[in-house]
Amino acid sequence: MRAIEKQGYTTPTPVQAQSIPAVLSGKDVLAAAQTGTGKTAGFTLPLLQLLDQTEPTKRGPVRALIITPTRELAAQIDESVTTYGRYLALPSTVVFGGVGIGPQKKKLKTGVKILTATPGRLLDLHNQGCVDLSKVEILVLDEADRMLDMGFIHDIRRILKLLPQQRQNLLFSATFSHEIRQMAKGLLGTPVRIEVAPPNCTADNIQQVVHPVDKSRKPKLLCRLIHDGNWEQVLVFTRTKHGANKLTKMLEKDGISAAAIHSNKSQGARTRALADFKQHKICALVATDIAARGLDIEQLPQVVNFDMPNVAEDYVHRIGRTGRAGLEGQAVSLVSIDEQKSLAGIERLLKRSLNSKIVDGFEPDPNLVVEAPAPRAARPSRSRKPAQPKRAQGRNPSKASEKGSQYRRREKIAV
């Protein structure tokens, strides 16, 4: 409570008000809530309370395991555990790939009670005998739907086999999709089910607007919006890593401090870019969808969809980076003519139309049309590799040798 007070929190969010008592009662929990509603505190606070009540010694095996899909989310959850548990004798750490494994091994040797991890690095450390998961009492799967999307289901199954049968399981997800319900069946007993918002809805406190614009003019329009609106902090989403790098250079050329964050960047570069953005050292953080989930940036005022997402559901997660914890936020989408189908898909998902506004000087060219994709060139038929010549059976080796040389000559001509 001292730690919570120090953070300035006085009232729990709806998901916290429902999940905290359920976790404290020792029950399994299946929770779905839209992004930005405080899910992390919903499980870290009661988890710390439960472990603190029964903690015999500082040293020993891991007692609580939190698994997340991305490195950034893992680092954030560990930061929350450290913040909320600052007055408790419950050592914690985080492990993920992309950085040296040595320091992580060293930390685990000192004895860790709460471990936050991404699946791949956790399995690496277990295979090297660096982490004991046989005494885990509480398992948390955070952003479970994202883990399924990213193909971590097999790693999750391997990790579950390393854990004791008797444990408390907490599964947090943005939605209750069919796949999540199937996962919950095999993992949870009779869980407390928590759902604080309809699936695929966006927070009411996020002002959403669409700016139709030609694709080639998107960078200039983004620069105009940043300059004219005096935006000090904006998270910009692109579809590709190359696009993120290219846009970052364009923004910097226009005098806007920017950095890119995507999976081709080293973990050190990603961590620095995110830290600089949070500390207002840079104005624009340009990201691919790796940053669409879980990132908690306090009081982020603007999110821009420079490219519309490939999957409509990702729109909800992207714009959920703003308007967090009840604050106001703005989500701007720059939509070119070839992205109208993506926009229509998003509007179907949200069950409403988004406000569209053309910016003066950036009117779309009415003569532009969506080009049909070029037909694929027919693949040249691949001839079967000729069968290898049989080995001579000894009757006439010279003939066999001659046949072999003829075969080799024919093969050379064919190649």
Task: State the Cα–Cα distance between residues 187 and 317, nearest whole angstrom.
Answer: 25
Ordered strands of the 234-237 beta sheet: 258-261, 284-287, 234-237, 302-305, 329-335, 206-212, 355-356
Written out in words, the top-level CATH class of the domain with range 206-356 is alpha beta
The pLDDT of residue 202: 57
**pLDDT tens digits, one per residue of 362-386:** 999 887 766 555 555 555 555 445 5
Question: Average pLDDT for residues 18-38, to the nearest whole number?
Answer: 86
The answer to whether residues 47 and 114 touch, using CB atoms and an 8 Å cutoff, is: yes
CA 215 to chain CA centroid, nearest Å: 26
* Tokens of residue 173, six digits: 């997800």
Whether residue 130 has pLDDT greater than 80? yes
Instruction: Determine whether 293 is exposed, middle or buried from the number of CB atoms within 10 Å of its CB (0-12, 13-18, 19+).
Output: buried
**CATH 3.40.50.300 segments of the chain:** 2-195, 206-356
Share of the chain above pLDDT 70, in %: 82
**371 CB neighbour count, 10 Å cutoff:** 8
The pLDDT of residue 408: 39
**pLDDT tens digits, one per residue of 170-217:** 998 877 777 788 888 888 888 999 887 555 555 567 889 999 999 999
* Candidate from 6-15, 220-229, 340-349 with smallest mean pLDDT: 6-15
The helix (run of H) or strand (run of E) holding residue 106 is helix 102-109
Of the two residues 118 and 379, the one the predictor is more confident about is 118
Task: Tell me which CATH code domain 2-195 carries.
Answer: 3.40.50.300
The pLDDT of residue 218: 96
The answer to whether residues 117 and 96 touch, using CB atoms and an 8 Å cutoff, is: yes
Closest CA to 41 of 22, 62, 21, 20: 20
